[in-house]
Amino acid sequence: IEEQDDKELKSLFKEYHYADIAEILDELNQDEAVYVIKLLDSETTSDVLMELDEDIREKVLRNLSAKEIAEEIEELDTDDAADMISELPEERQEEVISNIEDAEHKAEIKELLAYDEDTAGGLMAKELVKVYETWTVAGCMRRIRGQAKDVTRVHSIYVVDKEDKLIGRLSLKDLITAKSDQKIAEISNSNVDWVHVKDDVEDVAKIMQKYDLEAIPVVDENQTLLGRITIDDIVDVIREEADKDYQLAAGISQDVEADDSILELTKARLPWLVLGLFGGLGSVFIMKGFEHIMSTVPSLFFYTPLIAAMAGNVGVQSSAIIVQGLANDSVKGSLLNRLLKEIGLSLINGLALALLVILFGFIIGQDTVESVAIAVSMMSVIVVAALIGTFVPIILDKRGIDPAIATGPFITTSNDILGIYLFFVLAGLIIGF
Amino acid sequence: IEEQDDKELKSLFKEYHYADIAEILDELNQDEAVYVIKLLDSETTSDVLMELDEDIREKVLRNLSAKEIAEEIEELDTDDAADMISELPEERQEEVISNIEDAEHKAEIKELLAYDEDTAGGLMAKELVKVYETWTVAGCMRRIRGQAKDVTRVHSIYVVDKEDKLIGRLSLKDLITAKSDQKIAEISNSNVDWVHVKDDVEDVAKIMQKYDLEAIPVVDENQTLLGRITIDDIVDVIREEADKDYQLAAGISQDVEADDSILELTKARLPWLVLGLFGGLGSVFIMKGFEHIMSTVPSLFFYTPLIAAMAGNVGVQSSAIIVQGLANDSVKGSLLNRLLKEIGLSLINGLALALLVILFGFIIGQDTVESVAIAVSMMSVIVVAALIGTFVPIILDKRGIDPAIATGPFITTSNDILGIYLFFVLAGLIIGF
């Protein structure tokens, strides 16, 4: 296809949805992608650009002039436009913004760029349909025909007073089913949800999910309507949040994909492996300290990987449940209750596993005292690992730190060291050395 | 508040959104919850019921008669109604359905109950706004006023031919901005996305995310319009899917929450711990087989928890990246390329870690040959662990098995055993025993 047959390519791409074109471009090399992008008409291009993989988009934008980028930006909604500009290097940002011709669009984008990207302000778009409470239904319909042109999708119509303060909402359906001489104030619903411009995006996501909203208005401290956030942006927030927690639990510290370069993957993975290595070297130290019992009870050393694995697994389970609970706000009740419950739970699990260990010892003809010592020490290690797995995330969360970092390698490593130490000390107490 | 002051409670709850009421009820005991539910008016009750925690809802429904439940069902949209009925015990399902008075609603719910809950049919609602291509805009507006009453939110209006086959879509905005004597066929958009009734919900979620859709029509093999799926249901699918993958990676086999009973938590956690235990016992066997070298090179035994931890961590990282890539359809390219890349990546990581191990051995004054043997064997273990972590999920996925089950305890356990075995064999070859 890459035989520079412009006409055929053009007509071919005309049939495709921009998300599909973006997927094809992600597969092509940089020059080919830039070539295709320049072929497409401006409206399609801007949508395609937004859908591209971040690193591909960066490369394509590097090949466009500030003026060309500004033209694409004009076609985008304010929220996407602000996102695209914020990805550019700083010196280019200014240049691109100064090339935007539509003064209103330019001012709105500048406003959005000023907000932190993790807040409602960073996620919202300026495009919305707004009506004044004093208008009639007929007048309102006329105005909406005008405003709606700029808004890709009309979710709700927001009702404001003469100072632009949000006082209600209205659906297109309400408007259609109303009589044309009714006042907006009569048919609007004053029970409108909103978020503050500085609210955290995760909180916005929770509110929209809880109330099943498809769009939510954003206001400032004076209740002035500033913009709106739509559910498709929230879907991305939810997905990113889930991916991040999953990667942290697996010991990957950056947002990487299977197709990223080896260098990027190493940067994301190696730090956690080094942490695990230090943990393992700590265990070496601990076991060296018990070298003198190697000749009398060698079997203890055979069980160390088992102890480390159990301490790690139990810790990861406990922390995962708590981290998810904290993310969904479903962790309730007092700390003492949680403490008692976790002890009860890990005692039950530990007891079942301890019996299996004793049974295994019996089958392989191991000394009974040794088997019992191993089983009882393992049970204690499991209880301690469960407590650490539960309370480290809770404590981090109380201090305002993302509890997800406590899952995965972090909890596994600390539980490994502590578990092996505890195992030798307790087994020593029972066997007597 | 529970002093049976009905009036005050009623007026108190009138102020709240049903999602908030549900949250309060989740906190109350069963009798209190049933008591409050019976106080609320029927429309609120049905919404509150849908928002309740599944186990609380089950308890509350047990206290209502089939007739009372049928009354709540009448108030719900068909998709929620079908969900609620499918949660009831089988013998009650029949009874409740026979108590539904509205014959059309009853037939629609029965139809939805027949679909598998993991397919588009199981997720869709029958409520939608449908117009015929031959109608005029004015006639259409009249009909829509009637149809829209039953539909909580009008996303898109679907255009069908006289055999009810989906041929296009229309937004309310298009309708408002059109002239009243235009035919629907003239203003409708024939470029409509749809999914088949038997499509997997995860595929539906991917399509809706990719094209940023807020609702999608569902059709059968004749292209007949059967229902529609809205984005709020998809948000739940995405969230559940992410939670499930996260829990599998952490070794939790069922959808449990921090506040579930100890028994439920044990059922979800113990099976994976037993798996880990068997893995650990396998290591005991392997190490017992090398007992004869304990007196000559005891240090090998000190490093076993480290080897197990590295094999486990590397395996989890590799599998997590692949599982996420498979979920997002972003794993491309040939298997051979992936193989070479994973080997390269793990060699770089392994080499860095091996140097640290040699340095550590030097500091603690360990025999150099032993240190090198340990470091080199560890590096090999890391490469093998990375390959297993990468290819087991890919193979599972090719066979149609959810690759997420290969993360977490499963990969950790098999990598532990294999890693320790490999470690002793390779170290033995280098040191010579």
Q: Which chain A residues are within 8 Å of B231, Cβ to Cβ?
A: 214, 231-232, 235
- Find the CB nearest B266 among A231, A312, A345: A345
pLDDT tens column, A253-298: 777 777 778 888 888 888 888 988 998 999 998 999 998 888 888 8
Residues A210 and A65 in one domain: no
The answer to whether position A257 is within a domain reads no
Q: Is the pLDDT of residue A327 over 60?
A: yes
Higher pLDDT, A198 or A91: A198
* Domain span at A373: 262-431
Residues A299 and A426 in one domain: yes
The answer to whether position B332 is within a domain reads yes
The answer to whether position B169 is within a domain reads yes
Which residues between 222 and 251 in chain B have a beta carbon less than 8 angstroms from any beta carbon of chain A? Answer: 231-232, 234-235, 238-239, 242-243, 245-247, 249-251
- C-beta neighbour count of B362 within 10 angstroms: 11
Q: Which chain B residues are within 8 Å of A258, Cβ to Cβ?
A: 321-322, 324-325, 330-331, 338
pLDDT tens column, A417-432: 999 999 999 998 988 8
The answer to whether position B326 is within a domain reads yes
Q: Which chain A residues are within 8 Å of B356, Cβ to Cβ?
A: 274, 277
pLDDT of residue A3: 61
Residues A266 and A193 in one domain: no
Residues B328 and B271 in one domain: yes
Tell me, what CATH number does A73's domain have? 1.25.60.10
Residues A349 and A422 in one domain: yes
Q: Is the pLDDT of residue A355 over 90?
A: yes
The DSSP-derived string for B371-430 is: HHHHHHHHHHHHHHHHHHHHHHHHHHHHTTS-GGGGSTHHHHHHHHHHHHHHHHHHHHHH
Tell me, what CATH number does B198's domain have? 3.10.580.10
Q: Which chain A residues are within 8 Å of B257, Cβ to Cβ?
A: 321, 324-325, 328, 330
**A93 closest CA partner among A77, A109, A117:** A109
pLDDT of residue A2: 58
| Interchain contact, A308 vs B309, CB within 8 Å | yes
Percent of chain A with pLDDT over 90: 22
Residues A302 and A399 in one domain: yes
Residue B255, CA distances (Å) to A404, B58, B259, B269 in order: 18, 16, 12, 11
> At which of B211, B230, B249 does a domain end?
B230
> At which of A87, A114, A141 does a domain end?
A114
pLDDT of residue A229: 92
| Span of A125-129, A176-180, B246-250 with lowest mean pLDDT | A176-180
pLDDT tens column, A40-65: 777 778 888 888 877 778 888 888 88
Q: Is the pLDDT of residue A154 over 70?
A: no
| Interchain contact, B259 vs A301, CB within 8 Å | no
pLDDT tens column, A4-31: 667 777 777 777 777 788 777 777 777 7
**B30 closest CA partner among B51, B50, B57:** B57
Query: pLDDT band for position A150 (50/70/90)?
Result: low
One-letter amino acid for residue A281 of the chain:
L
> At which of B178, B210, B230 does a domain end?
B230
The answer to whether position B163 is within a domain reads yes
The answer to whether position B44 is within a domain reads yes
Residues B305 and B423 in one domain: yes
Min Cα distance A116 → chain B (Å) is 24
Residues A389 and A269 in one domain: yes
Buried b (16+ CB within 10 A) or exposed e, B301-326: bbbbbbbbbbbbbbbbbbbbbbbbbb
Residues A57 and A187 in one domain: no
In B, minimum Cα distance to A176 occurs at: B145
Residues A107 and A135 in one domain: no
Residues A369 and A419 in one domain: yes
> How many folded domains does chain B comprise?
3
Averaged pLDDT in 10-residue chunks for chain B of 433 residues? 66 75 76 77 78 80 84 85 86 86 87 89 88 86 71 76 89 77 84 90 88 88 91 85 82 77 86 89 91 87 92 89 81 79 91 94 90 93 93 88 79 88 92 79
Min Cα distance B399 → chain A (Å) is 20
The answer to whether position A196 is within a domain reads yes
User: Is residue B133 within 8 Å of B167, Cβ to Cβ?
Assistant: yes
The position carrying tokens 């186990």 is B55
Query: pLDDT band for position A410 (50/70/90)?
Result: confident
SS3 B265: helix
Residues B134 and B111 in one domain: no
Contacts 24+ apart (CB under 8 A), B365-370: B366/B299, B367/B299, B369/B430, B369/B431, B370/B297, B370/B299, B370/B300, B370/B431
The answer to whether position B254 is within a domain reads no
pLDDT tens column, A293-317: 888 888 899 999 999 989 988 998 8
pLDDT of residue A409: 78
Query: pLDDT band for position A172 (50/70/90)?
Result: confident
Tell me, what CATH number does A336's domain have? 1.10.357.20
